[in-house]
């Protein structure tokens, strides 16, 4: 142990507990919260407390107040009834674990985070589990995970290997979870926890958030509220298959567990090998779900997201504008149009590559990352030069983990794909797409080299959209030995993360979007390598309100790519006015996904003004604290949220009407997060009305805005009154 580590070795507090043992409390703190586990040497780790921050005297009397003494990291074998975090089979067939604490360390890691490590070892077998907790200065998040090491002769089979477990006292506990599907991602569902087991899981193999999400909130005081109520947020930070369980058994507790999905993933842990589980990030707030979201957003921006401190550029992506039909002159025209509207970046999406099998259809060319010079006679450099002429940056789409059977790569290396021996591959998109075996180091090198070549040859590429459009099928690896076939899902993601790390080590500055058939990879496991994610292939503004609402529970606006697209919308066919489409996109990382040549001059001018307005408040949206005000899920005919700077000197208020009826009444929205004692001047952004709003330019105290609010007209007094059924407002509030 280093001198430095010894110096800050944990000073564990020793208290006589009601259970007549000497509790050795490990007190893990954030500015406002405490997590306490009892780590008595020779005993198992007991979960004692998670909640508001405790002072020393409260800590000293905690046991007498009544605590669970349930295991903080339950293992299978001695007590068999409880859901375990870890279960194993030792080389001699013994299926039990019986862990005792051998020591506690506290140290600072290379990023300045504080780590507490509680070392445990089996009472008989040389098998260790270290349970770790990580906190950052000024962050309300506690990350925890486990590391298992086999020191015995022979291989230990890991059957279950969750990252973390937490008992939550029964009461009126509700769970908020996120569900969905392609083009309908991250929908919110809230319900009281039932008896029995709730399991939230993913088995896609490659992507993990189209359907369920690996984040939940637990509202301890009944129906979830935005502003009040004790609320725990938990996010498993992992790129692959996961499983979250909440077991409500006969005890007085709900038992939360989260980790890699062990289904078809038994892991053979060899002698000397350590299995590191992904972290679960927890937070606790008494400001309801809103408090939990703000804690996650701050931690996300400061510690988890690539470049979380840098404002994002306003971009035009070519996908819904031209789909695969990339043409050089049209790329130039799109660049010119977005530049003239004030955009800062153009991203050429799918369709630019493939020689032997040109990417004119989605059945061709994945794996062959050479420019199609029939489409782009002047290649990528020609596009970069054109972007430079327009004064904007250039970005490009890739899907490096995938291959089409109609590609040179597949013809030369059919063994590179994920596929079981003695089985024909099962192809997905385009009838020919499948997944490369990222567990194979040669495949990892291939992908790193492809990205390296692209970014080295074209150092002015500013942005990459990294896509992933297939699930893993035909479970098996030509590369792995028979005893490691069950490692496929885990090895895939270890390989993928190692690819990300190698690319980021060499290209730390490039902006990278994480996309997976839309919102298939919105998880904090990805975000250390990515600047943002694509929320959904569904760009319909009305449906986006619901999806972005769900997304906002854990992810900050800066990471939430949100684009203005065409009307009728390409996914839903819905006709939505440009004003409304823009006002929804402005509540996230604003971009466009449209063919601007199909827009009228008036629409282009409207977008130019909206982009200028967004620039004025970009920092408030992208770095501000989010307050969700009226939920679209509450059927109040409107939805509303706002962002407030941490200094409370500026805010942006969003209001969208969801339904239109004659003689309709909607609630007046009370604002939140402002300084009650300051006065704020109100200005409307992206205004289309002929006349200003009655409160335009007027000043109100934060107190008034938060207790009364402003009456928002239900429609627009605009030339395009045909779209009266849609109404939306964006208000800027500036403290005087």
Q: Is 349 in the site for ligand GLA (CB under 6 A)?
A: yes
Binding to ligand GLA in span 520-579, by CB under 6 A: 534, 537
Q: Which is nearer to ligand GLA, 353 or 534 (CB)?
A: 534
**Residue 422 falls in which region: left (phi positive, over 0), alpha (psi -120 to 50) or beta:** left
Q: Which residues, other chains included, contact 56 with Cβ-Cβ below 8 Å and sequence gap of 6+? A: 13
Question: Is residue 438 exposed (0-12), middle (13-18) or buried (19+ Cβ within 10 Å)?
Answer: buried
509 is catalytic: no
CB of 537 to ligand GLA, least distance (A): 5
CB of 555 to ligand GLA, least distance (A): 17
Q: Tokens at residue 341, please?
A: 């509207």
Q: Which is nearer to ligand GLA, 354 or 518 (CB)?
A: 518
Q: Which is nearer to ligand GLA, 85 or 461 (CB)?
A: 461
Strand arrangement, sheet containing 699-701? 625-630, 638-644, 650-657, 728-735, 679-685, 699-701
Q: Which is nearer to ligand GLA, 174 or 319 (CB)?
A: 319
Q: Tokens at residue 68, please?
A: 């669970």
Q: Is 469 in the site for ligand GLA (CB under 6 A)?
A: yes
DSSP-derived secondary structure letter, 487: G
Candidate list 467, 514, 540, 625, residue with the active-site label: 467
Residue that is written with structure tokens 């690539």 in the block: 306
CB 594 within 8 A of CB 564: yes
Q: Which residues, other chains included, contact 410 with Cβ-Cβ below 8 Å and sequence gap of 6+? A: 367, 403, 404, 416, 417
Site string for ligand GLA, 229-268 (x = CB under 6 A): ----------------------------------------
Candidate list 537, 540, 583, 613, residue with the active-site label: 537
φ/ψ (deg, to 5) at 336: -60, -45
Q: Which is nearer to ligand GLA, 211 or 469 (CB)?
A: 469
Partners of 144 in beta bridges: 133, 280
Q: Tokens at residue 72, please?
A: 């903080």
CB of 182 to ligand GLA, least distance (A): 8
CB of 648 to ligand GLA, least distance (A): 37
Binding to ligand GLA in span 601-660, by CB under 6 A: none
Q: Tokens at residue 239, please?
A: 């790129």
Site string for ligand GLA, 177-196 (x = CB under 6 A): --------------------
* Listed ranges 94-102, 363-371, 513-521, 661-669: which one lies at the site for ligand GLA (CB under 6 A): 513-521
**Three-state DSSP state, 143:** strand
φ/ψ (deg, to 5) at 68: -80, -35
Q: Which is nearer to ligand GLA, 242 or 466 (CB)?
A: 466
SS3 for 514-543 is ECECCECCCCCCCCCCCCEEECCCCCCHHH
Residue that is written with structure tokens 């000497």 in the block: 22
Which of 74, 518, 525, 591 forms a contact with ligand GLA (CB under 6 A)? 518
350 is catalytic: no
Q: Is 491 in the site for ligand GLA (CB under 6 A)?
A: no
* Listed ranges 296-304, 447-455, 514-522, 712-720: which one lies at the site for ligand GLA (CB under 6 A): 514-522
Question: How far, in Å, CA of 470 to CA of 261, rounded?
Answer: 19
Q: Which is nearer to ligand GLA, 515 or 630 (CB)?
A: 515
SS3 for 437-470 is CCCCHHHHHHHHHHHHHHHHHCCCEEEEEECCCC
CB of 469 to ligand GLA, least distance (A): 5
Size of the site for ligand GLA (CB under 6 A): 11
Binding to ligand GLA in span 306-335, by CB under 6 A: 319
Question: How far, in Å, CA of 28 to CA of 33, rounded?
Answer: 8
* Listed ranges 5-13, 65-73, 511-519, 675-683: which one lies at the site for ligand GLA (CB under 6 A): 511-519
Site string for ligand GLA, 196-215 (x = CB under 6 A): --------------------
Q: Which is nearer to ligand GLA, 224 or 519 (CB)?
A: 519
CB of 337 to ligand GLA, least distance (A): 19
Question: How far, in Å, CA of 123 to CA of 100, rounded?
Answer: 6
CB of 465 to ligand GLA, least distance (A): 6
CB of 320 to ligand GLA, least distance (A): 8
* Listed ranges 16-24, 86-94, 243-251, 510-518: which one lies at the site for ligand GLA (CB under 6 A): 510-518
Question: How far, in Å, CA of 19 to CA of 81, rounded?
Answer: 22
Cβ-count burial 195-229 (b if 16+ within 10 Å, e if not): eeebebebbbbbbbbbbbbbbbbbbbbeebebbeb
Q: Is 144 in the site for ligand GLA (CB under 6 A)?
A: no
Binding to ligand GLA in span 95-124, by CB under 6 A: none
Residue nearest to ligand GLA (CB): 350
CB 535 within 8 A of CB 544: yes
Q: Is 350 in the site for ligand GLA (CB under 6 A)?
A: yes
CB of 571 to ligand GLA, least distance (A): 11
Q: Which is nearer to ligand GLA, 287 or 540 (CB)?
A: 540
CB of 563 to ligand GLA, least distance (A): 9
Q: Which is nearer to ligand GLA, 38 or 362 (CB)?
A: 362
Q: Is 517 in the site for ligand GLA (CB under 6 A)?
A: yes
* β pairing state of 187-192 and 231-236: unpaired
Question: How far, in Å, CA of 502 to CA of 489, rounded?
Answer: 20
Binding to ligand GLA in span 359-418, by CB under 6 A: 397
Number of residues that this document lists for the chain: 736
Q: Is 466 in the site for ligand GLA (CB under 6 A)?
A: no
Question: How far, in Å, CA of 660 to CA of 652, rounded?
Answer: 24
Residue 64 CA: distances (Å) to CA of 19, 21, 48, 370, 589: 9, 12, 11, 69, 49
Q: Which residues bind ligand GLA (CB under 6 A)?
A: 319, 349-350, 397, 467, 469, 515, 517-518, 534, 537
- Catalytic residue list: 467, 537
């Amino acid at each position: 142990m280093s001198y430095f580590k010894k110096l800050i070795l944990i000073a564990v507090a020793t208290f006589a507990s009601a259970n007549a043992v000497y509790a050795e409390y490990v007190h893990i703190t954030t500015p406002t919260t405490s997590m306490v586990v009892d780590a008595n040497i020779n005993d198992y780790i007991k979960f004692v407390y998670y909640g508001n921050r405790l002072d020393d005297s409260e800590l000293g009397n905690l046991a007498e107040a009544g605590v669970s003494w349930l295991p903080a990291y339950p293992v299978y074998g001695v007590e068999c009834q409880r859901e375990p975090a870890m279960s194993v089979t030792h080389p001699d067939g013994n299926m039990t674990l019986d862990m005792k604490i051998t020591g506690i360390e506290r140290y600072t890691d290379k990023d300045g985070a504080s780590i507490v490590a509680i070392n445990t070892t089996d009472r008989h077998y040389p098998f260790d589990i270290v349970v770790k907790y990580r906190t950052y200065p000024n962050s309300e998040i506690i990350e925890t995970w486990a590391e298992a090491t086999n020191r015995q002769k022979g291989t230990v089979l890991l059957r279950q290997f969750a990252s973390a477990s937490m008992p939550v006292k029964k009461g009126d506990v509700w769970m908020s979870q996120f569900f969905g599907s392609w083009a309908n991602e991250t929908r919110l569902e809230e319900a009281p926890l039932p008896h029995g087991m709730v399991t939230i899981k993913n088995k896609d193999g490659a992507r993990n958030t189209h359907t369920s999400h690996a984040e939940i909130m637990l509202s301890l005081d009944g129906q979830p509220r935005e502003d009040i109520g004790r609320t725990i947020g938990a996010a498993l930070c992992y790129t692959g298959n996961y499983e979250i369980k909440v077991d409500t058994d006969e005890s007085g507790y709900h038992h939360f567990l989260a980790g890699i999905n062990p289904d078809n993933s038994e892991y053979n842990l060899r002698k000397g090998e350590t299995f590191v589980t992904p972290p679960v990030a927890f937070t606790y707030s008494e400001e309801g779900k809103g408090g939990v979201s703000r804690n996650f957003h701050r931690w996300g921006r400061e510690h988890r997201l690539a470049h979380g401190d840098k404002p994002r550029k306003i971009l035009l992506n070519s996908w819904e504008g031209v789909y695969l039909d990339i043409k050089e002159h049209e790329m130039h025209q799109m660049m010119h149009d977005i530049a003239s509207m004030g955009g800062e970046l153009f991203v050429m999406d799918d369709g630019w590559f493939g020689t032997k099998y040109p990417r004119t259809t989605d059945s061709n060319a994945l794996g062959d990352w050479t420019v199609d010079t029939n489409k782009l006679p002047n290649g990528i450099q020609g596009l970069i030069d054109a972007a430079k002429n327009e004064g904007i940056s250039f970005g490009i789409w890739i899907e490096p983990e995938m291959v089409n059977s109609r590609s040179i790569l597949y013809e030369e290396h059919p063994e590179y794909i994920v596929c079981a021996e003695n089985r024909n591959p099962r192809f997905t998109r385009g009838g020919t797409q499948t997944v490369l075996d990222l567990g194979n180091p040669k495949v990892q090198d291939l992908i790193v080299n492809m990205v390296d070549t692209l970014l080295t040859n074209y150092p002015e590429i500013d942005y990459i959209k990294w896509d992933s459009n297939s699930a893993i099928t035909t479970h098996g690896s030509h590369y792995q030995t028979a005893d490691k076939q069950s490692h496929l899902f885990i090895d895939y993601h270890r390989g993928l993360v190692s690819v990300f790390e190698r690319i980021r080590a060499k290209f730390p500055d490039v902006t990278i979007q994480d996309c997976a058939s839309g919102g298939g990879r919105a998880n904090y496991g990805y975000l250390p390598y990515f600047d943002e994610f694509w929320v959904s292939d569904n760009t319909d503004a009305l449906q986006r309100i619901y999806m972005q609402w769900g997304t906002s529970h854990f992810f900050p606006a800066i990471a939430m790519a949100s684009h203005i697209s065409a009307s009728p919308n390409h996914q839903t066919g819905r006709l939505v006015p440009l004003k409304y489409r823009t006002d929804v996109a402005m509540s996230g990382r604003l971009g466009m996904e449209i063919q601007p040549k199909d827009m009228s001059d008036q629409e282009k001018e409207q977008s130019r003004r909206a982009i200028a307005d967004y620039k004025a408040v970009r920092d408030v949206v992208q770095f501000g604290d989010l307050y969700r005000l009226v939920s679209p899920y509450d059927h109040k005919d409107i939805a509303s949220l706002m962002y407030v700077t941490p200094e409370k000197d500026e805010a942006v208020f969003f209001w969208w009407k969801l339904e239109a009826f004659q003689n309709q009444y909607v609630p007046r929205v009370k604002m939140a997060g402002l300084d009650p004692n300051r006065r704020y001047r109100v200005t409307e952004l992206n205004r289309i009305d002929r006349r200003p709003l009655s409160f335009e330019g007027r000043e109100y105290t934060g107190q008034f805005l938060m207790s009364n609010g402003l009456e928002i007209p239900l429609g627009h007094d605009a030339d395009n009154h045909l779209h009266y059924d849609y109404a939306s407002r964006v208000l800027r509030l500036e403290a005087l």
